[in-house]
């Protein structure tokens, strides 16, 4: 019996019991290389994707445990108004340097701008606390998320 789930709307299946992390499945089977592998120990946030809309570290999720789940990766970001807003604000504010941390941060930020009632810098910093950025781009990243949260609530989200 196979385990069936979707990635960015695309039907996927793996053999039940197959030992393969979601980050390896995305990168090596689906060739979706936007999701990064950093620490492999849930300590850096580089691999975060959305599982049924909730941020999860893909290095800690077994692909064989995803029956009926819906996965969204950074490659799907431009398919929603919130995602397009984040991309636009990160680019406008040059929020990042090498970019290694950004796919995980963008996916957690997507959940944040959709769900959080508090768009303050403190709330954003708390939400992104599990994400490391070795380039020290956190101030610009927080500013880009705040600008996105604000613009979406002011109705400027029709990108």
Residues within the interface to ligand FES (CB under 6 A): 37-40, 42-47, 57, 59, 96-101, 133-135, 137
The secondary structure of 65-105, three-state, reads HCCCCEEECHHHHHHCHHHHHHHHHHHHCCCCCCCCCHHHH
The distance of closest approach from Cβ of residue 139 to ligand FES in the complex, given in angstroms and rounded to an integer, is: 12
Strand 70-72, strand 48-51: pairing:
antiparallel
Nearer to ligand FES, 15 or 54 (CB): 54
Helix (H, G, I), strand (E, B) or coil at 1: coil
Is the CB of 77 or the CB of 101 nearer to ligand FES?
101
Q: Report, in Å, the least distance between residue 100 CB and ligand FES.
A: 4
User: Least distance from C-beta 105 to ligand FES, angstroms?
Assistant: 8
Q: How far is CA 16 from CA 49, 62, 124, 146, in A?
A: 21, 10, 38, 41
CB of 25 to ligand FES, least distance (A): 13
End-to-end CA distance of the chain: 42
Least distance from C-beta 117 to ligand FES, angstroms?
27
- 56 or 152, CB closer to ligand FES? 56
Closer by beta carbon to ligand FES, 107 or else 152: 107
Write the CB contacts of 63 (distance below 8 Å, at least 6 apart in sequence).
3, 5, 14, 18, 20, 21, 22, 24, 25
Nearer to ligand FES by Cβ, of 134 and 153: the residue is 134
């Amino acid at each position: 019996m196979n385990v069936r789930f979707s990635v960015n709307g695309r039907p996927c299946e793996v053999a039940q019991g197959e030992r393969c992390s979601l980050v390896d499945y995305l990168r090596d089977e689906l060739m979706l290389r936007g999701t990064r592998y950093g620490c492999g120990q849930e300590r850096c946030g580089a691999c975060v994707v959305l599982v049924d809309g909730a941020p999860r570290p893909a290095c800690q999720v077994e692909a064989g445990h995803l029956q009926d789940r819906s996965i969204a990766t950074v490659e799907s970001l431009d398919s929603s108004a919130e995602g397009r807003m984040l991309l636009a604000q990160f680019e406008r504010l040059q929020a990042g340097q090498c970019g290694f941390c950004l796919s995980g941060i963008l996916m957690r930020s997507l959940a944040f701008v959709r769900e959080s009632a508090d768009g303050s810098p403190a709330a954003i910093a708390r939400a992104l606390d599990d994400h490391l950025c070795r380039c020290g781009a956190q101030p610009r990243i927080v500013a880009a998320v705040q600008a996105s949260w604000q613009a979406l609530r002011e109705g400027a989200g029709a990108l």
